[in-house]
Amino acid sequence: MTAARPAVAEAKRIVVKVGSSSISGANTGQIAPLVDALAAAHARGVEVILVSSGAIATGMPYLHLDARPNDLATQQAAAAVGQNLLMVRYQDSLDRYGLTAAQVLLTAGDLEHSTPRSNAQRAIDRLLGLRILPIVNENDTVATHEIRFGDNDRLAALVAELVGADLLVLLSDVDALYTRPPHEPGAERIDEVAADDELERVEIGEAGAAGVGTGGAATKVASAKLAARQGTPVVLTSTANVRRALDGDAVGTWFHASSLD
């Protein structure tokens, strides 16, 4: 079967970003099908980088927290506990395919300064050459409010630029971008976004599914546009659609990349 999006089938290096609400709490079970999709792409010879949120959300139950903490120290403590557990869950699932995960923790400063930036790029390139799956997250344990990425959607766009990705897949709880929150009357699905489309017709709702994440539709759109301006096309869809997105099916919203000529 021919892929509806040939650019996906032709992509050799893909960055996939998944949010906290998709792989923590009641949705921890979504890690396995996510890994299934990543492993299928890997088996085709694709180099895959996963940008995964979820360290704080994963650590919260072990700190007996019912809601995401507001103070930085407790966020850092939850991240320190949760990052370890999150990597164990990914590796347990990857073991089914004989794949190995590598943890890559970054801060905003790492990508703003040439030496740590080149070090990160070189390390990820080497991991991909060894057919290992890099799993990237913000280093929440040492990040401060002043130097945070703000959300991992932006981190994913910056990582896509760092590694020269052919495609960025942004996963969320919603299957596509809509002209307004999809539960509201009159919401219309947007299938494609041109490189020069400023999306002025789109009304963005409030962020924060289940109170565990920091991103929302606004950050995903901004990050998709950032990646597209850098020359990387983007698929914005739900975590449940990740397999179809990586197979090139016409799911979610396709952000056309700007020409860098």
Cβ neighbours of 30 (radius 10 Å): 18
Predicted confidence at residue 144, as pLDDT, reads 64
**How many domains does the structure of the chain reveal?**
1
Residue 132 lies in a domain: yes
Structural contact between residues 4 and 250, judged by C-beta atoms closer than 8 angstroms: yes
Exposed / middle / buried, residue 109 (Cβ in 10 Å: 0-12, 13-18, 19+): middle
Letter for the amino acid at 9? A
pLDDT of amino acid 4:
84
Distances (CA, A) of 39 to 89, 98, 101, 150, 153: 15, 9, 11, 29, 22
Provide the pLDDT for residue 166.
Answer: 98
Let me know if residue 50 belongs to a domain.
yes
Tell me the CATH number at 223.
Answer: 3.40.1160.10
Tell me, yes or no, whether 156 lies in a domain.
Answer: yes
Judge whether 260 lies within some domain: no
pLDDT computed for residue 216 by the predictor: 72
| Annotated binding residues for substrate | 53, 140, 152
Strand partners, 255: 193, 234
Cα dihedral angle (184, 18, 152, 160), rounded to 10 degrees?
-110
The annotated binding site for ATP is made up of 17, 172-173
Angle, helices 114-129 vs 152-163, to 10°: value is 70
Domain membership flag for residue 140? yes
| Residue whose tokens read 């890099």 | 134
Q: What is the predicted pLDDT for the residue at 151?
A: 74
Domain that holds residue 214: 6-255
Q: What is the pLDDT along the chain (261 residues), one digit of tens a residue?
A: 457 899 999 999 999 999 999 999 999 999 999 999 999 999 999 999 999 999 999 999 999 999 999 888 999 999 999 999 999 999 999 999 999 999 999 988 888 899 999 999 999 999 999 999 999 998 888 776 544 566 789 999 999 999 999 999 999 999 999 999 898 999 999 999 999 988 888 887 655 444 455 557 888 999 999 999 999 999 999 999 999 999 999 999 999 999 865
pLDDT at 147: 44
Q: Which residues are annotated as a binding site?
A: 17, 53, 140, 152, 172-173
Q: Is residue 62 part of a domain?
A: yes
- Does 205 reside within a domain? yes
Which is it for strands 234-238 and 253-255: parallel, antiparallel or unpaired?
Answer: antiparallel
| CB-based contact 43:62 (threshold 8 Å) | no
Q: Does 1 fall in a domain?
A: no
Report the SS3 class of residue 96: helix
